[in-house]
Every structure is written in structure tokens, then in C-alpha cells.
Amino acid sequence: MKVLPVPLGAALLGAVLLTGCSAGVTAEQAPTVASGASFHGTEPVSPGTRPSFVLEDTEGRPYDFAVETGGRPTLLYFGYANCPDECPTAMADIAAALRTTPAALREDTVVVLVTTDPDRDTGPVLRRFLDQFSTDFVGLRGTQAQVDAAQTATGVSPAQKGEDVPTLPGRPDQHEHAPGTAAHQHFGPLGYGVGHADVIFAFDSDDRLPVLYDGGVRPSDIAADLPLLASGETP
């Protein structure tokens, strides 16, 4: 299920299309890659900046994204616990990348998933999903309006509910995995899918957004870029 994008302007991308998790569609981006790219993802022509929004973490505590992550390399993703393919794969790829980085850099890097399905993703549900990949990953939620505003502040179209996710006969919590999907579990009926941008936003220590990663990025590419993100020495 592809959804028409909100134009993002020169500060980020020309366009980001949403991916319908229930349909297994990958994200696409307009050809706005800067020349002489040194990162392993997509470089906006004019890097954006770290967005400002306040949600709550999986313990119900207020979490000011700009304050809590400011000055640190940060990987931000918008997804949800019942996502059948893209979200668990993105989290698994990030976790795999961090396992190959030096301990100091790994500990300094913040990974944040903002749920695009706050109606079902309570704090405990989101925490249980993320713990499959790392207990250090931050999960954020809020009202639908707050989550939509966080996506808009980051420069991406708000996610949209779609049709039910096809599941295996008699197994409402399991589905046929798309090729390349990371191993994962769901802890309840999958129900409806949510179309969202399958993009990892990577902010550097100077609070800029010099690179983004489409779904299917190699963990080695993220790992190779983390020292550059930490240094803030964006080319």
C-alpha cells in the first residue's frame, strides 16, 4: 500500500513514500543524493536538523527527543510492534551494526523507535518488542496526534492504518515472512497493518541529519557510518 507523500523540501528529501507493512512494499526516495557522497546511505542535498518533540517512553516517563538525544549519534525509526517485516528487520539491522562497533561508540549511540500504532502499542507491548533486539533501544509513544506531529517534525508523512495483515491458517500471530526478514516474534494477533516510512533517520553529534537508510540497508553500512556520525565531521 503506497500513500502519497508530503513534500519534504530541500532540508530533507524531495519525497518519501510510505510502505504498507501488510503489503510488503519498500520505501522509495526522490533522487536528491548529494554528489561526492561519503556515507553509505542516502544523503540529503541540504542536511536537516534533529527534530524537537516530546513523547513518553515505555515506562510512561516524558521523553524530550531533542534534549535526550542531542549531541549524540542517533538512529530514529517510525514503526510498530505488529509490523510483519520492515520494522523487525530495521531493528535487527541496527542491533547487528552496533554489535560490531567499539563499546564506547555503541554506548554513545541512541536508537529510538516511535510507534506509529499507539492504539495497540502500550509501553509494555513496545518494550517486549524492542527487547528482542536490544534492551537499550528506546521506545516512544503518545496520542495519535502527538505521534503524527513527531513524524511531521522529522519530515515524513504520518503513518496510515491499512488492511489486515495476512496470517498463517490458525495462527493469527504469525505470517509468511518476506525474503530477507529478520527473525522475530509477535505476541498477539497481527490485525491491521500500518503504512509508514521504512526509513532510518541518522543524526550526528552536531544534531544534523546527514544520511538516511532505506529498508534493506546492510548492517555493515550503518556500522561504517557511525564513527562519522559520532565525530560530527559531515563531509
The per-residue pLDDT for range 143-163, each reduced to its tens digit, is 999 999 999 999 999 988 766
Rounded to 10 deg, the angle between the 219-231 and 86-99 helix axes is 60
Q: How far is Cα 17 from Cα 213, in angstroms, rounded to an integer?
A: 14
Q: How far is Cα 209 from Cα 69, in angstroms, rounded to an integer?
A: 13
The per-residue pLDDT for range 49-76, each reduced to its tens digit, is 999 999 999 999 999 999 999 999 999 9
Is the per-residue pLDDT at 10 higher than 60?
A: no
Q: What is the pLDDT of the chain when averaged over all its residues?
A: 81
CATH number belonging to domain 19-32+44-231: 3.40.30.10
Domains of the chain: which residue ranges? 19-32+44-231
Residue 117 confidence (pLDDT) = 93
pTM: 0.81
Residue 181 confidence (pLDDT) = 67
Give how far the C-alpha of residue 86 lies from the chain's centroid of Cα atoms, to the nearest Å: 9
Is the per-residue pLDDT at 192 higher than 90?
A: no
Residue 173 confidence (pLDDT) = 62
